[in-house]
Amino acid sequence: MINGLLSRLRRRKDSESTPTADPPVSPPKKRYRYTVISCIMGGYEPVREVANAPSDVRYILVTDGKGVKSRTWEVRNCDEFPALSKYRSPISKVNYVRYHPFEFADTEISIYIDGSMRINKSLDKLYDDFSSSSSDIGIGIHPYRANVYEEISTWISFRGLPREESDSQKRLFGKTYFNRAVLFQSALILRKNSKVVNVIDDITWAMLILTGHGGESARLDQTVLTYVISTYFSGTRFFLFSQHVMQSSYITMYTHGTSTPVVVDSRRYIRPSVYGKIIHPYMIE
């Protein structure tokens, strides 16, 4: 009995003298300067690796493909995001990401880039020039077409846009007056995480669903984006750039789903203008 008691006392003493291990400390979360976001849905594009990617920039590739791998992109599957599971259409998923960038980026500035584009070198200059500007959103001006109706007609003729969608957009555009003398592009969008930007994106997304079918997004989005900006935000300051930025030493645009660069016929360029005023858009070499 005594021996058993002594044994229990020794075990108790040993346990009291044993130092308690500190809980593991999580490594500090890496801070990035800005985030570049792209999408591949339905296997529509190959993975276009980023050349010369700086380590302090986050590159996020959202995809519905299983087993997609990349050396330079942080591949995130749609299954990780409950909001994307609501939609069946790859177009809906692409447009959801395009118009909800700060659900994916945790930096104050994001750059959305279409999956048809390859980044050839660091976008730091574009980021620096945009971040130091007084604008909250950076957007391109279409090089060939001057308004949403020209774009709709082109998509009907050459991209197989369904009449149901084109008619739905035309009905929407006919409900309010807006200055039609501009067509913005949505393949490359720079954003600061500000209230006005989030409202622009929220309204654009709502109208894409409105002009789509069966709760899915409309296919043609830059006409809706142009309408939203021109109707409700025409007085906002924008960081406007030309097609040249998307086909420069920084970025190469390819024909969808291929490794063939798009050849732009500069002879077809229209003079860059916004609401009837000739402008001098931002350019980089």
With 50 as the cut, is the pLDDT of residue 13 above it? no
Please state, in angstroms and rounded to a whole number, the distance separating the CA atoms of residues 249 and 247: 7
pLDDT value of position 9: 39
pLDDT value of position 139: 97
Largest pairwise CA distance in the chain: 103
Residue 58 parent element (H or E): strand 57-63
With 70 as the cut, is the pLDDT of residue 232 above it? yes
pLDDT tens digits, 145-200? 999 999 999 999 999 999 999 999 999 999 999 989 999 999 999 999 999 999 99
Band of pLDDT at residue 2, cut at 50, 70 and 90: very low
Higher pLDDT, 96 or 268: 96
Band of pLDDT at residue 254, cut at 50, 70 and 90: very high
Amino acid identity of residue 241, one-letter, is: F
Please state, in angstroms and rounded to a whole number, the distance separating the CA atoms of residues 279 and 184: 14
- Residue 98 makes CB contacts below 8 A (sequence gap 6+) with 39, 112, 186, 189, 221
Pick the closest to residue 188 from 241, 259, 260 (CA basis).
241
In the numeric block, which tokens belong to residue 141?
Answer: 């001006």
Query: How many CB atoms within 10 Å of residue 172?
Result: 17
pLDDT value of position 284: 82
pLDDT tens digits, 15-33? 445 555 555 655 567 899 9
Pick the closest to residue 226 from 260, 189, 280 (CA basis).
189
The DSSP output letter for 69 is -
Q: How many residues does the chain have?
A: 285
pTM: 0.88
Pick the closest to residue 284 from 146, 55, 130, 137 (CA basis).
130
Band of pLDDT at residue 35, cut at 50, 70 and 90: very high
Over range 203-229, report the average pLDDT: 97
Instruction: Give the strand order in the sheet containing 238-241.
Output: 74-77, 57-63, 34-40, 109-113, 184-192, 137-141, 238-241
Q: Mind giving me the DSSP string for 84-147?
A: GGG---HHHHHHHHHT-GGGT--SSEEEEE-TTEEE-S--HHHHHHHHTSS-SEEEEEPSS--S
Please state, in angstroms and rounded to a whole number, the distance separating the CA atoms of residues 264 and 244: 9
First to last CA, the chain: 90
pLDDT tens digits, 78-129? 999 999 999 999 999 999 999 999 999 999 999 999 999 999 999 999 999 9
Please state, in angstroms and rounded to a whole number, the distance separating the CA atoms of residues 194 and 57: 20
In the numeric block, which tokens belong to residue 199?
Answer: 């409202």
Please state, in angstroms and rounded to a whole number, the distance separating the CA atoms of residues 240 and 130: 10
- Residue 111 phi/psi, 5-degree rounding, is -125, 115
